[in-house]
Amino acid sequence: MSENQLLATRDGFAAGLVKAAQVNPNIMALSADLSDSLKLADFKKQFPSQYVECGVAEQNMIGVAAGLSLLGKIPFATSFASFNPARNFDQIRNIAYSNLNLKIVGGHAGLVTGEDGAIHQALEDLSLMISLPNMRLVSPADAKQAKLATLALAKDLGPSYLRLSRLAVADLELSLKNLINKREDSNKFSLDKAQVLTSGKDLTIVVSGTIAHQAVQACFELQQLGIRAELINLISLKPLDLESILLSCQKTQALLIISEEQLGSGFNAYLAQQLLNNLGEKNSKPLLTEFVAVNNTFGESGTAQQLLSKYHLDSQAILNKTLLLLKKKRKLLSI
């Protein structure tokens, strides 16, 4: 996997799953007739007895995966996020209740599914999955993170949701080379710890998934304006490394939450609630907060850049929202 190559997180997942199966024969892959879209060709070729094609039947797929889990297998149940978890949430809820060791993989998540259109754009998947007790949520920013996350989840006990994108992106570390205040330890991978990608005192930006690349570009443009943002990338959305975010927010007093999902639900609402519950105990200073997310609308067909621009998720939208947030901060501090 070359650092200079543009790859989607689904590519990293597929590579990680093959590597996990090479050392653990209990690893299994299940597909709902979308093995090509989840890049499972190599897995099927190398481990045919560890692959189950369930057909266009996501609900049944979770039932099969549950049975395999009870037999001691480690199943990765894969489909588009618009079907998995959206179509089979009833079955997934029972999985979480039983706390089974089962991994749900939602591909083509978020807005940037290209020309597939609104029906295949999963903007509500995090809202569903973050509500479930016992469920771990993971959203990698690039193929390397997706591979490492897959390997980690293969060893992690309990149910989890891995959110993947179709969009091919650069290695996040390469994108960070444009940032003069890059953190030296930002390349360390951990499911449980947030990545503090850049240090800053003016505001905190929290992001996850491939949209992190838009945030990196926005931070570079902010630096040209003399603004230092502390950029935090979350690989694990739940459990949440709240401590790292709280420490940053106490310093900056301004927070921008970026998520490729519907506004007011899912991860952005979950993080805001966690901050409300915890910030007051440790910090008497106010925290100004803004959001970048899809604002109560469905998507449509289009290229990734067209969609990011129209729905205000691109680097320019992040830059604009940041400048608005800092204007509010200056006004508050002047009172």
Any idea which of 46-60, 152-166, 321-335 has the lowest mean pLDDT? 321-335
State pLDDT tens for residues 306-321.
999 999 999 999 999 9
Tokens for 48? 């045919």
Work out the average pLDDT over 1-14.
Answer: 86
Tokens for 257? 């939450």
Q: Is the pLDDT reported for residue 1 higher than 60?
A: no
- Phi/psi of residue 17, each to 5°? -65, -40
Q: Is the pLDDT reported for residue 111 higher than 60?
A: yes
> What pLDDT is recorded for position 175?
83
> What pLDDT is recorded for position 333?
78
> What pLDDT is recorded for position 286?
82
**Beta carbons of 8 and 164 less than 8 angstroms apart:** yes
C-alpha dist (Å) from residue 66 to 18, 77, 82, 240, 257: 21, 10, 20, 26, 35
pLDDT band for 37, please (50, 70, 90 cuts): very high
Whole-model pTM? Answer: 0.95
Domains with residue ranges and CATH for the chain: 9-163 (3.40.50.970), 172-334 (3.40.50.920)
> What pLDDT is recorded for position 2?
58
pLDDT band for 225, please (50, 70, 90 cuts): very high
> What pLDDT is recorded for position 54?
98
State pLDDT tens for residues 131-183.
999 999 999 999 999 999 999 999 999 999 999 999 999 999 888 876 655 65
Work out the average pLDDT over 21-30.
Answer: 99
Amino acid at 106: G
> What pLDDT is recorded for position 205?
99
pLDDT band for 284, please (50, 70, 90 cuts): low
